[in-house]
Chains A and B, each alone.
Chain A
Amino acid sequence: MVTLVPEVVPAITASLYLPALYVAILIGFIGLTGIAIQKRDIHILILTDLVGLAMLIVVAAVGTDLAEALILPGLVVELAEIMAISEILISREMRKAENSVPKDRTITEKPSVFPLPLSLDMEIMKTAPNFIALVMILFGAFLTGFTGGAVAGGGILFYMMCKKARGLPVFVVEGIGAISGISWCLWIVGFVLFFLAPQYWLLSLFMAACGLVLKVASKLGLIGSILTEEYRRE
C-alpha cells in the first residue's frame, strides 16, 4: 500500500484538497452555464478558457511534483487550443465578410468578430519604452529560468511594439532564431549533465537556467519581431 501523504506535510495542507476540488468543479459548472446562455462566439471562446482554468485548479490541487509536471502541459494545451480556435474564428469571419452580400441589401447575419489591425495608442509607449524594457530584461535575467525568460521576452516584445520596428532584416530574425536554438542545446546539455555527473550540479543548474532564460526570451522576441509587421499594418 502506498502512503499518499508524507509525514512532513501538515494536516491542514492535506485537508485543502477536497475544497479545492469542489471550487474547481463549481467554476467549471459556472463556465459551462455561461457557455449555454451566451450566443456570441467570442464570448463562448472566453468562457471556455474559464473552464480550462478550472482544469488547472483540479490538477494544482494535488500539489505534488507529478501534478506540477502536469500543470505546464495542461497550460500549453489550453493556450494552443485557444489560439487555434481564435484563428479559426477570425478566418471564418473574414471568409463570411468576403462572401457577404453587397451593402445596399439587408445584411441578415452580422459577423461575430471584426478582424481589425491592432492600433495601440498609449502614453507610456511613447515616453518610457526604453526604461520599462530595460527593467524587465534585467529583472528577467535576475529571475532566470522559465519565468525570467518570459519576463525578459515580454520586455523585448514591449520594446519592439513601441519602437515600430518595421521591416527587420532577415539576418536579425535568423540570428534571434539561432540564439534560441543554441540556448536550447545549453538547456538540454545541462539536464543531461545532471544525470551523468551529479557532482557538478551547480554548473548544470546554471547551464539549464541560463539556457532556458535565453531560449524563452529570444523566442518571445522572435514572435515580437514577426508580429510587429502585422501590428503596424494600418
Chain B
Amino acid sequence: MDITSLGGNLLGTIPLGDIVLYLTPFHLFMFAVVLIFTFLIAISRTETQVEAEFGTLKENKVSIGLAEFKVRRFLAIICGLATAGAMITGDLFNLTLFIALIGIVNVGIVSAVKQVDVLDAAYQYGIMAMISSLPLFGGASIILAATGTLSLFVISGLVATPMMIFGAILLLIGVAGETGIAPFFATKAEMFRTPGSPFLLIIHLSSLMVIIRVIEVLLIIVT
C-alpha cells in the first residue's frame, strides 16, 4: 500500500544510502506520545503498590527500595526510548532491533523483584521472547531475501510476492511473542503483580504502540 494513504502526507525523506527513512504525521504523533509518556515516567516517584486484600476491607502496601527503583526506572526509560524509536523508524531492520530491545527490557524491569511468582512469570516471558526472536529476525531476513532491501519506503512500491507475505506472517508472530500480546499474554500477566506501577504501564504502552506500528508496517509490506 502507498505509505501516504496509511500515515498521511509525506513530510520528508532522509536518504541514508540504500535505507531511506521517511516521516509522516502518523509516525511523528506516535513518537511524540511515547516520548511524553517516557518523560512522565522519568520524573514520577511511585515506588509503592497498594494491593486490595482478598476477603477483608484492608489493603496491603508493598514498596521497594530506592536502589532497585532507580535501576528499574532506568530500564523503563530505555523501554520508552526503544518504543519511540520503533515508532519513527522507516527501516525494517531497526524496527526488528527495537522490538527485540523492548522484549529484553521488559524482562529486565521485573527481574529485580523479590517474589518467586513474579520471577517465574518473568522467566516464562523471557523464554517466549527468546523463542520468538526466530520468527522476528527470520521474517525480517526473509523479506530482505525476497526484496533485496530493508527500507519500507522502497518495499511499499513493490508488488507483494508469496515469500514477502510469508515473511510478514513470521514477523507478526515474532512481534506477538516479543511484546507479549494476545496469545502469549498469559506469560506476562503475572508480571503485573510487581510493585512499582509506572514501569508496568510502560510495558503495556510499549506493546500497544508497537503493535499499532507493526500492523502499519505489515500493511505496507503485504498490500
What's the least CB distance linking A112 to chain B, in Å?
10
What's the least CB distance linking A5 to chain B, in Å?
9
Complex: chain B residue closest to A21, CB-CB: B142
What's the least CB distance linking A177 to chain B, in Å?
19
CB neighbours (8 Å) of B123 from chain A are 41, 85, 88-89, 92
- Contact residue range for chain A? 35 or more
> Cα distance A77–B130 when bound, in Å?
9
Please tell me which one of the listed residues A2, A48, A96 contacts residue B148 in the complex, with CB atoms under 8 A apart. Answer: A2
Instruction: Pick the interface stretch among A65-73, A114-122, A205-213.
Output: A65-73
* A128: interface (CB < 8 Å): no
* A55: interface (CB < 8 Å): yes
* A32: interface (CB < 8 Å): yes
A82 touches B130 (CB 8 A): yes
> Cα distance A64–B140 when bound, in Å?
13
Complex: chain A residue closest to B108, CB-CB: A84
* B49: interface (CB < 8 Å): no
> Cα distance A2–B67 when bound, in Å?
53
B133 touches A59 (CB 8 A): no
CB neighbours (8 Å) of B97 from chain A are 73, 77
> Cα distance A49–B126 when bound, in Å?
12
What is the total number of residues of chain B having a CB less than 8 Å from a CB of chain A?
A: 38
* B217: interface (CB < 8 Å): no
B131 touches A88 (CB 8 A): no
A81 touches B116 (CB 8 A): no
* B211: interface (CB < 8 Å): no
Given A81-B129, A84-B108, A24 and B138 contact (CB-CB distance below 8 Å): yes
CB neighbours (8 Å) of B133 from chain A are 52, 55, 74, 77-78, 81
B145 touches A62 (CB 8 A): yes
Please tell me which one of the listed residues B108, B119, B136, B148 contacts residue A95 in the complex, with CB atoms under 8 A apart. Answer: B119
Mark out the residues of chain B between 51 and 96 whose CB falls within 8 Å of any chain A CB in the assembled complex. 93, 96
Please tell me which one of the listed residues A2, A59, A80 contacts residue B149 in the complex, with CB atoms under 8 A apart. Answer: A2
Interface of B is mostly: helix
CB neighbours (8 Å) of B129 from chain A are 81
B107 touches A88 (CB 8 A): yes
Given A55-B137, A58-B137, A64 and B144 contact (CB-CB distance below 8 Å): yes
CB neighbours (8 Å) of A61 from chain B are 141, 145
* A201: interface (CB < 8 Å): no
* B103: interface (CB < 8 Å): yes
* B201: interface (CB < 8 Å): no
Mark out the residues of chain B between 140 and 195 whose CB falls within 8 Å of any chain A CB in the assembled complex. 140-142, 144-150, 158
* B197: interface (CB < 8 Å): no
A/B interface sample: 17 pairs, CB < 8 A: A2-B148, A3-B148, A4-B147, A4-B148, A51-B131, A58-B134, A69-B93, A70-B141, A80-B104, A81-B107, A81-B133, A82-B130, A85-B126, A88-B119, A92-B123, A95-B119, A99-B116
A67 touches B141 (CB 8 A): yes
* A28: interface (CB < 8 Å): yes
| Most chain B beta-carbon contacts within 10 A, residue among A21, A66, A77 | A77
